[in-house]
A and B are shown apart, each in its own frame.
Chain A
């Protein structure tokens, strides 16, 4: 389960739905061991107790309310209510609604909470969410306060149902169906993200349900048989069928850009039928060597660069001589990830190769894995706040990939140099490759990264390009407990206070597209109509208040440019608390 979960983490803006569908599609009984992790994701199974785990905070506050079905207003029972406390990601509580649709969370500490309601077949909503793919607002709870009437009206999810036939018009069972939508990724590009999946039954019928209102493209494909290794060799070309059913997009095209999108209203059901197009599938083959020229050992993972789900990635073993073959590959763009598990050799090795498949076979690929770089340095604490983490585990430095889609399955995952801080704040982080940002991975609510320097140069927001370097020494990460706090209200053109809005904060100056998203923040008001941004990095920003924002749209450079027009500029210094009054900008 973790394997896929960790893959999804690095995709940047991936809706929670994608990650859920990716998780659940894994076969039961899979061994939970993860030989290669993802850079940036905490390494499971390595907790250390130098930061004492805190007991679940409690208090005397209460939040309660009721969940009904939108339109009918009938109570909804067994709705899963998930409450999260903004102070710490470790605080998560779940209750179910009763037969009258009522729920209550008791014994809550004071603070801000986000709350979501979900029930299969219905659209999951965050509290305060008014539109599909919009963020929620937070609930501000004082000490001992009871907030009632935190109510939800859940719309019935949309349904895309239909039938799938083969090229002869015969109904096809066991076809994987995906409903996908375009969403902005961190780099501002619109990419297909899977919002729902289904499999056709023996009558060729499918139902993708619980969809948010919106525009979707639908595709169907048949999973090609996975390649195998016999006698220590990957299957030869004649061992596997060379054709099959790669994704066909409704109403009948192999190209996602030619797909006809389907618009679903609230609770609407649309029926479609289309035929899959049989096509030749490519075979990708080659050999893997490690950094010392020895045959590789481990596996090659083929990941589509768009619309990744658990059903469309493939794991392929390396042969005994380091050779590999991946069968049944549809045309498209992929990332070929190699994970080397080399017992007895020094640390894991990895490689990541972008690859475009046009339909023809690709043979003779030569991939050399690399150990990556060993990064050493020290974390310095500029302040006196307690270094308590809400999550158990060691304090740990990690490397976040700078590029929006970079799976880097092997990097930062050397168990002997996993970034843990020793008593003096020194760390060693092995297996780092590509372009990365270094940061303290452990959540410490009272602390923020002040600067990252290398040889006296500030590289806090400059991706560290590892290149071919075997080691990089002398990284200094300075943490500060003097956090900024920017909060305020929003008024409309007539000066009246607006209760519902979204504030987008972006750097005042245009920055490198790979860096700018580190500074872009969005925030919605709490139940008092007030927004609050904590630990914004000191600097010059512009803030824009909008009526609403589709999640991820702030990653679009054009959109951010438009936002600058109605924006208010402000500067915030280290440790400063700032109050802003913003005027709602309309027309977006």
Chain B
């Protein structure tokens, strides 16, 4: 089931339910996408010794601006109390400028943030049971617009009208119609990944591991209007404990089942929800034999990896669950039972004192039969080493401790954690002299510095005389990638402008998509594509665009993630305006709205 766009029949009414905002200057660029997603094992917190020196005397940012507003229920114009309002600065260009606050509304739904510094902020309102909205958001799954504040300014009427969330009420039974308790239910929707593919992701912020109750019932609530599929899966055997097995133990269970009763996401029946709508569904889990997988594991010297730890990772929607499934036995043999049909990754981790750890990850597809004779050969992965060079005088303060990270180019790899290193000497920590070492790496990955110090951006990543900033390194082949030079610059680019409609009238609401002038591989394009929405004066601004040739297109609306679709990128080129951006340059790009996209 693949559709170009979630039909937004409900969007019009959602649009109507949102207030018209006061005018204020400013604009926003969406954050740079981070292909590859989460970085496993990234320690957070303070600077490490050996990292570039930075000042430790810090004071909290404060100012004189004020933002006030109200949160109302869309269905009836009464104030919503204890809605959570989150404010965060989106234009922190200097160290120490990052800013984040949370408050709650009073009994009348009012909120106020005082003592704010000047800057551009995104504001989100959230209340359980309602749809969370960003300020300026008019449609489901659309980005909001920023609020701009000058020193001493008081901005009133930053109001939100929250639509009641939609509800899918699910009843799950077994093949005999008896309710099944403890079934994990996930509501999913199709979303574009950074590779331009639409795939199912978990909708909204559902409680992980929420399960049906003793009546087999589950309610997914607070959903945006849109199209959803529902997946029910039984929690794995053994509650996360390693399971043993006899050679002939019988394990009957359930396969992960999509509504109305299919193993295939393509055959799942989508449910379309309007604003505040409730739909009740009931379906039966598909009974299935649980599979057994067996094979052998050898280390890099072809010796049996006796005692290596086995983990089964199952990706579902935008999350994954891992469960330890035992250790490798005497002759390097292993057997894992109770594996539900579907796609999994069998990960093996082998650590021995005094030796660097070895690992492997094997994608497997389990059907109704067993998988025997799997053979895994462990390896230590690639080690990447080199130096980070800071070009510029901007202090490198604020915001965590930057490390060199390898970001998987395949978004599906983002949830598979294996390999890597937790050793500070080889986990990408940047030393006093800028040197770094990153070991245990696999897959295809881009190199970057995460998090980037405020005011800095990656100028280039050079290896073997080649600029690989946006070229994924194939780490499966190489044992060592050395002499990598990552240059960070404090010369930040800015692209800003206005948009007019077909009659030449200035527009206040639109989306600008900036993409490379030449079509590129989807995962590379995703690193360069930027999306911007206007501030309330109608001006858009994007910082930190990599120097190069781009085309920019202004459109009316954009479902988040659609910019990653290569077909859509092609369509966008038709009405696009080309521009070239040099290092540290600020340029104005005024655009005319392209309709029909």
Residues of A within 8 A of B (CB): 1, 5, 20, 23-29, 31-33, 35, 44-49, 52-56, 58, 77-78, 80, 82, 90-96, 98, 104-108, 119-121, 156-157, 159, 166, 168, 172-174, 198-199, 201-203, 207, 209-210, 225, 228-233, 235-236, 238-241, 243-244, 295-299, 317-322, 341-345, 391-394, 420
Q: What are 13 of the A-B contact pairs (CB < 8 Å)?
A: A32-B417, A47-B307, A93-B244, A94-B249, A159-B214, A172-B128, A173-B129, A210-B214, A230-B98, A231-B61, A231-B97, A238-B115, A343-B49
Residues 25-59 of chain B: 1 if any A CB is under 8 Å from the residue's CB, otherwise 0?
00000000000001011011111111000101110
Interface residues of B in 74-133 (CB under 8 A from A): 81-82, 84, 95-104, 107, 114-115, 128-129
Contact of A202 among B222, B235, B237, B253 (CB under 8 A): B222
Count of chain B residues with a beta carbon within 8 Å of a chain A beta carbon: 106
A392-B320 contact, Cβ under 8 Å, with A202-B222, A239-B100, A295-B56: no
A298 to B47, CA, bound (A): 10
Q: Is the CB of A32 within 8 A of B48?
A: no
A538 to B167, CA, bound (A): 63
A321-B46 contact, Cβ under 8 Å, with A96-B252, A225-B84, A343-B429: yes
Q: A49-B307, A209-B181, A238-B115 are in contact. List 14 more A-B contacts (CB 8 A).
A: A1-B322, A27-B208, A27-B319, A28-B209, A28-B415, A48-B352, A92-B241, A94-B238, A107-B246, A173-B222, A174-B128, A202-B222, A295-B56, A320-B47
A121 to B57, CA, bound (A): 56
Shortest distance between the CB of B462 and any CB in chain A (Å): 26
In the complex, chain B residues whose CB is within 8 Å of the CB of A58: 246-247
Q: Is the CB of B306 within 8 A of A106?
A: no
Q: Is the CB of B327 within 8 A of A231?
A: no
Chain A CB within 8 A of B173 CB: no
A322 to B209, CA, bound (A): 34
Q: Is the CB of B214 within 8 A of A238?
A: no
Chain A CB within 8 A of B465 CB: no
Chain A CB within 8 A of B243 CB: yes
In the complex, chain A residues whose CB is within 8 Å of the CB of B238: 80, 82, 92, 94
Q: Is the CB of B253 within 8 A of A392?
A: no
In the complex, chain A residues whose CB is within 8 Å of the CB of B96: 231
In the complex, chain A residues whose CB is within 8 Å of the CB of B49: 342-345
Q: Is the CB of A299 within 8 A of B45?
A: yes
A92-B181 contact, Cβ under 8 Å, with A1-B322, A80-B237, A239-B100: no
Q: Identify the closest chain B residue to A267 (Cβ).
A: B214
Q: Is the CB of A233 within 8 A of B58?
A: yes
Residues of B within 8 A of A (CB): 38, 40-41, 43-50, 54, 56-58, 60-61, 81-82, 84, 95-104, 107, 114-115, 128-129, 165, 167, 174, 180-182, 207-211, 213-215, 219, 221-222, 235, 237-254, 306-309, 311, 316, 319-324, 327, 329-330, 337-338, 349, 351-353, 357, 397-400, 415, 417, 420, 422, 424-425, 427, 429, 454
Q: Identify the closest chain A residue to B337 (Cβ).
A: A94
Q: Is the CB of A44 within 8 A of B307?
A: no
A80 to B337, CA, bound (A): 13
Q: Is the CB of B352 within 8 A of A26?
A: no
In the complex, chain B residues whose CB is within 8 Å of the CB of A166: 81-82
A16 to B38, CA, bound (A): 32
In the complex, chain B residues whose CB is within 8 Å of the CB of A299: 44-45
Shortest distance between the CB of B521 and any CB in chain A (Å): 26
Q: Is the CB of A344 within 8 A of B48?
A: yes
Contact of A121 among B214, B320, B321 (CB under 8 A): B214
Q: Is the CB of A228 within 8 A of B181?
A: no
In the complex, chain A residues whose CB is within 8 Å of the CB of B38: 29, 31
In the complex, chain B residues whose CB is within 8 Å of the CB of A82: 238
